[in-house]
Amino acid sequence: MESFGRESQTIAAISTGLIPSGVGMVRVSGPKAIEIADQVFQTVGQKPLQQRKGYTSAFGHIHDGDEMIDEGVAAVYRAPHSYTGEDVVELCCHGGVYLMERTLRVLLDHGARLAEEGEFTKRAFLNGKLSLDQAESVIGLIQAESAGAARAALAGKDGALKREILSVQKRLTGTAAHLSAWVDYPEEDVEELSPQSLVSEMEGSQKILESLYKKYDTGKMIRKGISTAIVGKPNVGKSTLMNLLSRYERSIVTDIPGTTRDVVEESVLIGGYALRLADTAGLRETEDQVEAIGVQWSRKKMESSDLILAVFDLSRPMDDDDHALLETVEGRTFIAILNKKDAASEADISAGERLIREKASDVLVMSAQTGEGLEQLEQMIPKVLGLNKIDPAAAMIANERQRECVKRALDALAEGIEALRAGITLDAVSVCLEDALSPLMELTGERASDAVIEQVFEQFCVGK
């Protein structure tokens, strides 16, 4: 009972980060937002906030009783034309942690309640401002670390996925209508209402969902970054490549084989994508206990990464270790980096290249030391991963929850198609159609349980 009416209460939270910064923002939302803000914020030479229109702002003083805390600006939004769909006031003050916390405390003293994680966005969802998948894109926007990730999140927030899902829902509802027409008037031998035509309709929906589903892993790389392992035998120049890509001395480089022992990680931006690089210990059999652990870690890193940069040294003849590496990366997404071009003769280069090309389709001759070939590498990476074929602004599944919903819809559709083909009762097919529709409505939040909604908004921070 404690939570009775919580949704109609006025909430407040600090929406900017809790670190000293130029400006801080404390947000209030709910039926009493403007009234409460008026008790805390005194406009200077202007009407109180309650007499102001939406989408206006006023300069004034934030005070606690007679004590002035700070000066700032209050922006007023009137329901339903605000982020949450309720009356909202955003109080911008100086971004000192004490000032923001004090401002918040005074708002709470005057009747606001501290907002829970994601409660502003949750209210936007409950008030029909956003679908559940759009709300999830807000998290994506906040977490985006690259241009690609930000574009994908913005497209999601704009409703790209929602529109695609709604179009499939519409198709499925149409198919359900045809199915019942066929059940009700079987004697009307209408050509387009055959089991075969129903199968085609369902396959149409299946195709759209499948294409979304297949793009999931690539989309994930755009959003979360491409985990990339730099591997190779000792001394081939892995750490030099790491430093070249990081643009600073991230890893220790020496001419002693076995220099790198730990996995050294760094995030870099390449062509609008985030690359999560891991420089690893050179792969070789070793008696050295510490180095041996490093080699194990290298292998683990290689197994879990999206992309492998397999480095070879052109200035020395290829040996068994190089061949072993080629075998290890076979079947994986990798680029063979033929390094130390500057220290190799034309003959070495062509011999090395010929050998590697037998096993690798993406090969780059470069010099990590001089930087020659860096640009080509940066262009190759998105291409090898197929990222260049994906429009970040297109509809994309953004997380595991959404992926699972699409998967359930696909399973139900496959079952329905099989049932139709096998001539199983049409009632069973109706059930499959309903089973396909239901997870799609869960995805957009049109028909999601409270538990699902809770889980989504728990991932937000307070203030959003």
Sheet with 67-77, side-by-side order of all strands = 41-43, 56-64, 67-77, 88-95, 21-29, 11-14, 113-114
Smallest distance from the beta carbon of 358 to ligand GTP, in angstroms? 23
259 binds ligand GTP (CB under 6 A): yes
- Contact partner, 369, from ligand GTP, Mg ion, none, Cβ < 5-8 Å per class: ligand GTP
Q: Minimum Å distance from CB 256 to ligand GTP?
A: 7
Stretch that binds ligand GTP, among 218-226, 228-236, 297-305, 403-411 (CB under 6 A): 228-236
Piece in contact with ligand GTP (CB under 6 A), picked from 82-90, 231-239, 356-364, 449-457: 231-239
Which of 160, 179, 253, 275 binds ligand GTP (CB under 6 A)? It is: 253
Backbone angles phi, psi at 177, to 5 degrees: -65, -45
Q: List, in sequence order, every residue forming a beta bridge with 230; answer none if it has no partner.
A: 279, 309
Q: Kindly tell me which residue out of 255, 320, 346, 358 binds ligand GTP, with binding defined by CB under 6 A.
A: 255
Q: Are 163 and 395 in contact (CB under 8 A)?
A: yes
Query: Are β-strands 363-365 and 21-29 bridged in parallel, bridged antiparallel, or unpaired?
Result: unpaired
Paired strand residues for 12: 28, 114
Q: How many residues bind ligand GTP (CB under 6 A)?
A: 23
Choosing among ligand GTP, Mg ion, none, which partner's interface includes residue 199 (Cβ < 5 to 8 Å by kind)?
none
Residue 339: contacted member of Mg ion, ligand GTP, none (CB under 5 to 8 Å, by partner type): ligand GTP
107 binds, among Mg ion, ligand GTP, none (CB under 5 to 8 A by kind): none
Question: Which partner from the list Mg ion, ligand GTP, none does 103 bind, CB cut-off 5 to 8 Å by kind?
Answer: none
Q: How far is the CB of 258 from ligand GTP (least distance, A)?
A: 5
Among ligand GTP, Mg ion, none, partner that 430 touches (CB below 5 to 8 angstroms by kind): none
Q: Minimum Å distance from CB 279 to Mg ion? A: 6
Q: Would you count residue 236 as binding ligand GTP (CB under 6 A)?
A: yes
Cβ 17 to ligand GTP shortest distance, Å: 37
384/288 Cα distance (integer angstroms): 36
**Which tokens hold the place of 237?**
């120049």
We find the least distance from the C-beta atom of residue 252 to ligand GTP, in angstroms, to be 7
Q: Are 325 and 352 in contact (CB under 8 A)?
A: no
Q: Which stretch binds ligand GTP (CB under 6 A): 16-24, 115-123, 257-265, 297-305?
A: 257-265
Site for ligand GTP (CB under 6 A): which residue of 103, 367, 399, 444? 367
How far from 374 is each of 320, 366, 370, 406, CA to CA, in Å? 27, 7, 9, 39
Residues that bind Mg ion (CB under 5 A): 238-239, 259-260
- What's the residue count for the chain? 464
Contact 276, 226 (CB under 8 A): yes
Counting runs of H as helices and runs of E as strands, what totals does the chain give?
16, 13
Q: Minimum distance from CB of 245 to ligand GTP (Å)? A: 12
Question: Sheet holding 363-365: strands in order across?
Answer: 264-270, 273-279, 226-231, 307-313, 334-339, 363-365
Pull the structure tokens for residue 461: 């921070």
State which of residues 340, 401, 403, 464 lies at the interface with ligand GTP (CB under 6 A).
340
Which ranges of 187-344 does DSSP label H, i.e. alpha helix?
A: 195-214, 216-224, 238-246, 289-304, 320-329
Per-residue x/- track, 275-294, ligand GTP (CB under 6 A): -------x------------
CB of 356 to ligand GTP, least distance (A): 16
Contact between 291 and 261 under an 8 Å Cβ cutoff? The reply is yes
In terms of Cα–Cα distance, which of 343, 331, 227 is closest to 279? 227
Binding flag, residue 249, ligand GTP (CB under 6 A): no
> Nearest residue by C-beta to ligand GTP?
282
263 or 452, CB closer to ligand GTP?
263
| CB closer to Mg ion, 259 vs 286 | 259
| Residue 257 to residue 237: CA distance in whole angstroms | 10
Residues 6+ apart with CB under 8 A from 373: 341, 364, 365, 366, 367
Applying CB under 6 A, among 57, 131, 137, 339 the residue interacting with ligand GTP is: 339
301 counts as binding ligand GTP under rule CB under 6 A: no
257 binds, among ligand GTP, Mg ion, none (CB under 5 to 8 A by kind): ligand GTP
Q: Report the alpha-carbon distance of residue 108 to residue 113 in Å, rounded.
A: 6
The distance of closest approach from Cβ of residue 382 to ligand GTP in the complex, given in angstroms and rounded to an integer, is 23
Please provide the DSSP assignment of 295-307 as one string: HHHHHHHHHH-SE
Residue 149 interacting with ligand GTP (CB under 6 A): no
User: Taking the complex as a whole, how short is the minimal distance between the CB of residue 278 and Mg ion, in angstroms?
Assistant: 11
H or E stretch at 183 = helix 160-184
CB of 365 to ligand GTP, least distance (A): 10
Using CB under 6 A, list all residues that contact ligand GTP. Answer: 232, 234-240, 253-255, 257-260, 282, 339-340, 342-343, 367-369
